[in-house]
Amino acid sequence: MNLSRRDFSKLGAMGLASRMLPEGFGQTSSRKIGYCVIGIGRIADHFLRGVQESSHSKITGFVSGHRDKAERFAAQYGVPKDSIYNYEDMDRMIDNKQIDAVYVALPNNMHAEYTIRSAKAGKHVLCEKPMSTTVADAEAMIAACKSANVKLMIAYRLHYEPFNLKAIQMIRNGDIGEVQTINGAFGFNSPQGEWRLTKKYGGGGSLFDVGIYVVNACRYLTGEEPASFTGITSTLDHDGRFNEVEENVSWTMKFPSGILATGSSTYGTQMPGYFKVFGTKGWLGMNPAYNYDGLRLQANYWKTPGSPLVKIDEINPERDPKQFAREADHMSECILNNRTPSSPGEEGLRDMRYIKAIYHAAGVDVA
Concerning whether 213 is annotated as a catalytic residue, the answer is: yes
Q: Are 246 and 256 in contact (CB under 8 A)?
A: no
Under DSSP, is residue 123 helix (H, G, I), strand (E, B) or coil? coil
- Residue (163 or 188) nearer to a second copy, CB: 188
The yes or no reply on residue 4 touching a second copy (CB under 8 A) is: no
The yes or no reply on residue 304 touching a second copy (CB under 8 A) is: no
Compute the chain's Rg from CA coordinates: 20
The yes or no reply on residue 236 touching a second copy (CB under 8 A) is: yes
The yes or no reply on residue 312 touching a second copy (CB under 8 A) is: no
β-strand partners of 76: none
Give me the catalytic one of 32, 58, 129, 166. Answer: 129
What is the per-residue burial (b if ≥16 Cβ within 10 Å, else e) of 106-121? bbbbbbbbbbbbbbeb
State which of residues 194, 230, 244, 312 lies at the interface with a second copy (CB under 8 A). 230
- Residue (157 or 356) nearer to a second copy, CB: 356
- How far is residue 125's CA from residue 105's CA, in Å, rounded to a whole number? 11
Provide the residue type at 58 as one letter. Answer: K
- Segment interacting with a second copy, rule: CB under 8 A, options 16-24, 92-100, 149-157, 246-254: 246-254
- Residue (18 or 181) nearer to a second copy, CB: 181
Q: For a second copy, how many residues bind (rule: CB under 8 A)? A: 47
State which of residues 120, 276, 339, 350 lies at the interface with a second copy (CB under 8 A). 276
Give me the catalytic one of 213, 267, 292, 354. Answer: 213
Q: What is the dihedral of CA 159, 251, 225, 142, to 10 degrees?
A: -70
The yes or no reply on residue 271 touching a second copy (CB under 8 A) is: yes
Concerning whether 311 is annotated as a catalytic residue, the answer is: no
Which stretches within the chain are classed as H helix? 5-14, 42-52, 67-77, 111-120, 135-147, 162-173, 199-202, 206, 212-222, 322-337, 345-361
The yes or no reply on residue 282 touching a second copy (CB under 8 A) is: yes
The yes or no reply on residue 298 touching a second copy (CB under 8 A) is: no
Q: For the chain, what is the largest distance between any 2 Cα atoms, rounded to a whole number of angstroms?
A: 68
- Residue (12 or 258) nearer to a second copy, CB: 258
In whole angstroms, how close is the CB of 272 to a second copy at the nearest point?
7
Kindly list the distances between the CA atom of residue 42 and the CA atoms of 32, 49, 52, 354, in Å, as whole numbers in the listed order.
24, 11, 16, 26
**Rama region for 39: left / alpha / beta (φ>0; ψ in -120 to 50; rest):** left
Where do contacts with a second copy occur on this chain (CB under 8 A)?
177-178, 180-181, 183, 185, 187, 189, 228, 230-237, 247-252, 254, 257-264, 266, 268-272, 276, 278-283, 300, 361
Active-site residue numbers?
A: 129, 213
